[in-house]
Amino acid sequence: MGIVIIGSGICGLGAALLLARDGHDVTVLERDDADIPGAPLDAWEEWSRPGVAQFGQPHNFMPGMRHMLQAELPDVYEALARAGAGRFDLLNPLPPTISGATPHPIDDKLWTLTARRPVGEWVFADAARREPRVTIRRGVQVSGLTTGAAARTGIPHVTGVRTTDGEELRADLVVDASGRQSKAMQWLTAIGARPPIEEQADSGFIYYTRYFRGTVPQRRAGVLTPLGSVSLLTIPGDNNTWSVTIFASGGDQPLKELRHEPKWTKAVKAYPLHAHWLDGEPIHEGVRAMAGIVDRYRRFVVDGEPVVTGFVAVADAWACTNPSAGRGLTVGLLHAQRLRDVARHVNDPVALVEDFDTRTEAEMRPWYDAQLAVDRARFAEMTAIREGQPPPPVTDELARGIRGLLATMIFDADLFRAAIESISTITPVQQILARPAIRERMQAVRETLKNASPPPIPGPSRQQLLEIVA
């Protein structure tokens, strides 16, 4: 097939490589016009990507992504290592509340190589520009879709794209990999397609981030640690760099002072298990803030019928959430892998859309549902703390199950592994919570702790935090 991919982020480039190496001719269209710099480390300083709002924000390459790269794109995996990607073992260190743990076969699955977004994207872009069946055109913006004879009566069939310069590019399949800013809804409306299913809302979070270099600090708390009305996120990167992020509710006006570096630094220092993450050299000025993060899900098969053929959406153009869990790139690449698998075996345009939808719903949507459940419960908790109210009970069954696993994991090595297995994007948490052995161990830990409180994570109270940033 001749395939056009809209968007040259990591997931679009990954899709291009997977499809091209399966024998398809792929053209990638990117609206940002800057070509990639000469070397991966130059990407951090020199690469301008205004079309990707989160380009300079923390990202994580989860173990699920490592496994996929080693199996499908081993040269990209090796290039990440050469570019200085850091080894990140999510299993170690174990919490001090767990002792006597013995090795387990799954342990080798729970580590990865990770890098800052510009460095990681450089590696994918360099691989794609060397791929014989991939053509990358930068500075080309898509304005709409072209259509031809329907593959099924009453359903528009996409035959290519139209650019803002008036050029038309024909394709057997158009793949929207344009991320959170996807214009798919407008494009489909313009060709007379029925509206896809779309659920969308502001996640409600705002992020305040700084990057450092030096000796990567030892972890003393979770990668993502909820701390009252804020959470702290610490992620290692490439070449002995790392990021520290405080995120809060977007409506928490006093905490918007965290955009000022002295107050941000003072706040991080107030958390004893995280303060040492400041022991490095800052590699940029000020605090990088990001807000307006959208939770969005789209489905292009409605009531059993595709709304369009010849067109699919992958990664964030399909579904996106609050990125604090760090799974977006991994889920996006796994989604692209599913598209490659479907395109490998299906030639009929109707069947391709239907089969891709079936696999997306069964294998990819659980990641979206789990993150959304956790985010909504956490946002409600943060709001209540901000307003001086007790946190509301968690009513969503999935959120309760996830919270139960996270609350008990620090007391049991097997539960800890199970939680990391999900966090690592190896197995959806819904499948883990359905395991009888996991349910039994969670219940056993709860029984042991029913007359005791879990150890508190040290740090300032809400009032003390407000005084820090005042």
pLDDT tens for residues 259-279?
Answer: 999 999 999 999 999 999 999
Cα–Cα distance, 205 to 67 (Å, whole number) = 30
How much of the chain, in percent, has pLDDT values that exceed 90?
Answer: 86
Residue 242: partners with Cβ closer than 8 Å, 6 or more residues away: 211, 212, 213, 216, 217, 234, 235, 236, 277, 280
pLDDT above 90 (res 115): yes
pLDDT above 90 (res 103): no
Q: What is the mean pLDDT of residues 149-161?
A: 97
Angle subtended at Cα 194 by Cα 304 and Cα 24, rounded to the nearest 5 degrees: 75
pTM over 0.85: yes
Mean pLDDT of the chain: 94
pLDDT band at 343 (very low <50, low <70, confident <90, very high): very high
Position 58 scores a pLDDT of 85
Position 86 scores a pLDDT of 94
pLDDT band at 326 (very low <50, low <70, confident <90, very high): confident
pLDDT band at 291 (very low <50, low <70, confident <90, very high): confident
pLDDT tens for residues 302-320?
Answer: 999 999 999 999 999 999 9
pLDDT above 90 (res 448): no
Q: What is the mean pLDDT of residues 269-298?
A: 94
**436 φ, ψ to 5°?**
-55, -40
pLDDT above 80 (res 454): no
Three-state helix/strand/coil letters over 5-24: EECCCHHHHHHHHHHHCCCC
Tokens of 236: 């290692």
Cα–Cα distance, 129 to 440 (Å, whole number) = 51
Tokens of 405: 């696993």
Domain limits, the chain: 1-59+116-201+294-387, 205-291
pLDDT above 90 (res 54): no
DSSP conformational letter for 346: -
Position 96 scores a pLDDT of 85
What does the radius of gyration of the chain's CA atoms come to, in whole angstroms? 23
> Coil, strand, or helix at residue 175?
strand
DSSP structure string for 71-98: HH-HHHHHHHHHTTBEEEETT-SPPTT-
Position 95 scores a pLDDT of 86
Q: Is 220:262 a contact under the CB 8 Å cutoff?
A: no
pLDDT band at 294 (very low <50, low <70, confident <90, very high): confident
pLDDT above 80 (res 453): no
Picking from 96-105, 216-225, 266-275, 416-425, which range would have the lowest pLDDT averaged per residue?
Answer: 96-105
Domain 205-291 has CATH 3.30.70.890: no
Topology classification of domain 1-59+116-201+294-387: FAD/NAD(P)-binding domain (3.50.50)
